[in-house]
Structure 1
C-alpha cells in the first residue's frame, strides 16, 4: 500500500524537526496497521472472497470519506475528487485491482508470498518507467531489478511443483504490477492527491465485488473483522500515510514502509502458525535485500545538497 502513497513526499514543503518527527511516526503507524492485513483476513470465516472484498472496500471507503470530510470539508473534498482527472482515475483502477487481488490471493497462497513480492514494487516501477518513458535507471538499480526478478522467480517456482497455487502467485504478481503502474502514474502527475484516488479505488472494488458475490450477509463476528480489515487496516493506514508522508523525504517513507513487509508474515506466523516455505524465505530475502539497496542509494541521493534551481524530485520508487 505504501508504494502508491509514498510519492506525496516528493513535494513535501520545508517542515520543522517536530513536524518531521510526527511524519515519521505517522508513516510507521501506517506500515504497522497495514502489516496486520493478512492476520485479520485469516480470522474471517466467510467462504466467498468477493463478499470479503465488498465489505472491506465498503468500510475503507466509508472511513476515507469521513477522514477527508473531517480534514478538508465538503468543498475541499469535492475539489480534490474533481482535480484528480484521468491520472487519478487510472490510479484508482490500479488500487482497486491490487486491493481486490490481495483478498482473493489470500485464498490461494501465503501472506508472506504476497507481501514479499510487493517489496519489489519500487524496482518494478523503475523498470516500467524505463520501458514506457525511457527514464534513466542507474546501473546499481538495474542490478537490484535483476535481483528482484530472480527472487520472485524463486518464490513463483513453488507453483510449478504444486506446493502453492499458480493462481495465488499470479495474483500476487498482479498486485505488484498494479502498484508499480500506479507509482509511475503518480510520479508523472505529482499534483494528484492520492487520498481521493484510493478512496475511489475502494468504491470501484466494492462495485465490482457486488456484481460477483453470491451473498452479502455475514455473521456478526465476521462483520467485526471485516470492519477492522477495511476501516482500520486499509482506511486508517492510508490516512496515516497520506498525512505523514508529506512531511518526510520519500526515501524515509519507503524505508518505514518496509515494516509492512517484515511484520506482516510475522503476525500470521505468530497468530495463525502460517510458516513461510524455504523458497519463499529465500526468494523474499533476495527481493528485500534488493529493495534495501535501492532505498540506501535513494537516501544517498536525497541527502546530497541540491544544486540551485533543482526541484528535488525523487528517483523512481
Structure 2
C-alpha cells in the first residue's frame, strides 16, 4: 500500500470523526432547547402536546429516510429492525412521553441533570443482565451518581418539586440506558427507524389518552418546531454522527444538552435551579465526565 493511499485513508478517517463530532454536538444543541420551547406552550392536556410533538418528529424522520434511502430502502429499514429495534423504539416512546409529563411536575434542570447519568446506568444494567465486568472506577462513578440523584430528589420530600416529576425523569434515564445497552449488543439495529417507530407509537398512544387534540394555529406552529426540529432533527443528527465516533465520545458530547438546557430556560423564562439541583447535578456531571473521559481514552488505545 502506497504512502499516498495511507495518507488519504487517515485524512478520510479524521474527516469522518470531525463530522461525527459536529453532528452529535449539533444534536445535543438542538435537544437542549426542548425545555425552553415547552415552557412557551400553555396547553392544559400534556397528552395533546405528546401527540403533536411526536407526530411531527415521526413524520420528519420518515421524510429524512425517504430522501436518504428511497421508499424501498425505508420500508427495508423498518422491516429489518427486528425485536431489538422495536424494543429501542418503545424505550424512546416512553422517554418522549415522560419528558413532557415530567417537566410539568418538576424543573427542566432536574429532568436534564437526572438524565445525565444514562451511560453509568447503562453500565449498571449491563452488569446486572450480562454480568459484564465493571471496573472499580466505574463503580465509584455510579456511587457518586446515586449520591447526586439522592441530593436532587430530596427536594421532592420538602414539597419544592413533585416526586412524580423526579420519578419520571429517572425513568427516562433508565429507558435511555436500556436502549443504549440493546444498541450496543445488537449493533445492526438502525437508530433512525427505531426512533421513528417510537415517536409514532408515542403519538398514537397519546391520541387515545388526550381529552382533545385541538390546538390554535400559533400553538401548532410551536409544536411543529418542538417536534420536527427539536426532537426529530436532533435524533437525525445523532443517528448520523454516533456511527462515526467512539460511543464514549458521543456520550461526552451529549452532556452539552445537560449543561445548556437549564441555561436556556434560566435566560428565557427565569427558571433558576434550586441549590439542591445544582449540587446534585454537579456531582452527577463530575462522575459522568470522569467516567466518559476514562472510557474515551480506553477506546482510543484499543483503536490505536
After TM superposition, the structure 1 = structure 2 runs for residues 1-317 of structure 1, keeping only pairs within 5 Å, are: 15-306=12-303
* Alpha carbons of structure 1 residues 305 and 189: separation in structure 2 relative to 1, 3 Å: closer
Moved more, 158-167 or 250-259: 250-259
What is the CA–CA distance in structure 2 between the aligned matches of 1:240 and 1:94, rounded to whole Å?
Answer: 19
Displacement of 1:15 after TM fit?
4.4
Give the secondary structure class of the aligned counterpart of 1:216.
coil
Moved more, 178-187 or 248-257: 248-257
Displacement of 1:44 after TM fit?
0.7
Which of the two has higher C-alpha Rg?
A: 2
What is the CA–CA distance in structure 2 between the aligned matches of 1:153 and 1:20, rounded to whole Å?
Answer: 37
What is the CA–CA distance in structure 1 between the aligned matches of 2:12 and 2:122, rounded to whole Å?
Answer: 28
Across the two proteins, how many residue pairs are aligned to each other? Answer: 295
What is the CA–CA distance in structure 1 between the aligned matches of 2:211 and 2:92, rounded to whole Å?
Answer: 23
* Alpha carbons of structure 1 residues 244 and 306: separation in structure 2 relative to 1, 3 Å: closer
Give the conservation status (yes or no) of the 8 Å contact 1:15–1:247.
Answer: no
Structure-1-length-normalised TM-score:
0.91
What is the CA–CA distance in structure 1 between the aligned matches of 2:117 and 2:235, rounded to whole Å?
Answer: 20
Give the secondary structure class of the aligned counterpart of 1:190.
coil
* Alpha carbons of structure 1 residues 218 and 19: separation in structure 2 relative to 1, 3 Å: same
* Alpha carbons of structure 1 residues 305 and 200: separation in structure 2 relative to 1, 3 Å: closer
Give the secondary structure class of the aligned counterpart of 2:205.
helix
Structure 1 residue runs of 5 or longer lacking an equivalent are 1-12, 308-317
Displacement of 1:19 after TM fit?
2.6
Displacement of 1:70 after TM fit?
0.5
Structure 2 residue runs of 5 or longer lacking an equivalent are 1-9
What is the CA–CA distance in structure 1 between the aligned matches of 2:40 and 2:232, rounded to whole Å?
Answer: 19
* Alpha carbons of structure 1 residues 305 and 85: separation in structure 2 relative to 1, 3 Å: closer
The superposition leaves residues 213-260 of structure 1 with CA deviations (integer Å, 9 ceiling, x where unpaired) of: 000111111111101110000000111111122222222211211100
**CA RMSD, Structure 1 to Structure 2 (Å):** 1.4
What is the CA–CA distance in structure 2 between the aligned matches of 1:84 and 1:280, rounded to whole Å?
Answer: 38
Give the secondary structure class of the aligned counterpart of 1:96.
helix
After the TM superposition, which segments of 4 or more aligned residues of structure 1 sit over 4 Å from their partners? none
Give the conservation status (yes or no) of the 8 Å contact 1:99–1:205.
Answer: yes
Displacement of 1:306 after TM fit?
4.6
Displacement of 1:18 after TM fit?
2.2
Give the secondary structure class of the aligned counterpart of 1:261.
helix
What is the CA–CA distance in structure 2 between the aligned matches of 1:72 and 1:141, rounded to whole Å?
Answer: 39
Structure-2-length-normalised TM-score:
0.95
